[in-house]
Structure formats: C-alpha cells, structure tokens
Amino acid sequence: MDSTPAGIVHAAIDELLFVVGKSADDLQMFHDTLAKARLAPLPPFPRATLITTAHIVDDLKRVERDLRDVLISLGLAS
C-alpha cells in the first residue's frame, strides 16, 4: 500500500474538521428545533416525511461508521 504525503493527509484532516464542525452545529440546531416541536401540538406528519426521516437516520449511521473508520485508519481509535 502506498503512503499518502503528510501534506495531503493534513489537508484532508483540516477539511474533515471544518465539515464535521459545521455539521455538528447544524445537527445541534436541528436537535434543538425538534426538541421544541415535541412540546407543541404536531401538525399531520406526511408519510413522505417518515420515509425521509428513515433515510436521515440511515445516512447518519453510515457517516458515523465512516468517521470511525477514518479514526481507526489514523490510529486514533480501535
């Protein structure tokens, strides 16, 4: 297996840090909005929204697995 130059690895890590930080902020805002919605009477919940919700959960699980793989590849997790 060929080794990737350190500069490229650092650039990839910097990009991941930026994207993960932004995503964390967005997810926290989404979480807070949903938490408030639980306190209010809910409007009708379309079936398409349930399907989209399932896709979001699946995508987030995939992202979590992929991020774990990156940490393992960098020797930062087991």
Model confidence pLDDT, tens digit, residues 10-36 = 999 999 999 999 999 999 999 998 888
Residue 1, pLDDT above cutoff 70: no
Do 57 and 74 share a domain, yes or no?
yes
Same domain, 52 and 16: no
Give residue 74's domain range. Answer: 44-78
Q: Residues 38, 49: one domain?
A: no
The structural domain count of the chain equals: 2
Say if residue 53 is in the same domain as residue 35.
no
Co-location of 3 and 30 in the same domain: yes
Cα 34–Cα 62–Cα 19 angle in degrees, nearest 5 = 70
Look at residue 41 and give its three-state secondary structure: coil
pLDDT digits over 48-74, tens only? 888 999 999 999 999 999 999 999 988
Name the band, by pLDDT with cuts 50, 70 and 90, for residue 46.
confident
Whether the model pTM is above 0.85: no
CA 72 – CA 58 distance, rounded (Å): 21
